[in-house]
Each structure stands twice: as structure tokens, then as C-alpha cells.
Amino acid sequence: MLIHVKIKPDSKKDEVIMKNSASFIVSVREEAKENKANYAMLLLLAEHLDVPVSILRIVTGHHSPSKIIDVMGR
């Protein structure tokens, strides 16, 4: 299953907002350096979807705020 994520680094709080079943806005406290924001986003998303973080993979958008995430096996 592919989902679209818009990430907002350097936010005041960690938060996942579901726009629809395949689109999310994820705010993280981490800054967008050294992959910190991407990792924090994957952790929050895994918790929100109730799946292990190991099945989430960034397909596109490693250096962009707009990402496509593959939830493998779903």
C-alpha cells in the first residue's frame, strides 16, 4: 500500500493528521538534517498505523517535504 505524506520538520509538537485513507500530514520536532526528520516521521507513522517501523519504506521524496511511503505487505 502506498501512502502520501507531507512532513513538517521543526514543529512545536509531534503529530499525525490523517487527510484521507492514503494521505497524511506529519509534524515532527526534529530538524531536517542528517535524516533525523525522516526517521522521526517513520516512527510516528508506524505508531499511528499500528505497524512495525520495519515495514515502512520511503519510495520517493527523501530530500523533499512531500513523500510517498510504501507500507510493505499491506
Mean pLDDT of 12-21: 95
Domain boundaries, the chain: 2-71
Handedness of CA 61, 49, 7, 17 (dihedral sign): positive
pLDDT at 37: 96
Mean pLDDT of 42-52: 96
pLDDT at 28: 97
Handedness of CA 15, 55, 71, 65 (dihedral sign): positive
Contacts of 43 (CB under 8 A, 6+ apart): 53
End-to-end CA distance of the chain: 5
Is the pTM higher than 0.75? The answer reads yes
For domain 2-71, give the CATH superfamily.
YggU-like (3.30.1200.10)
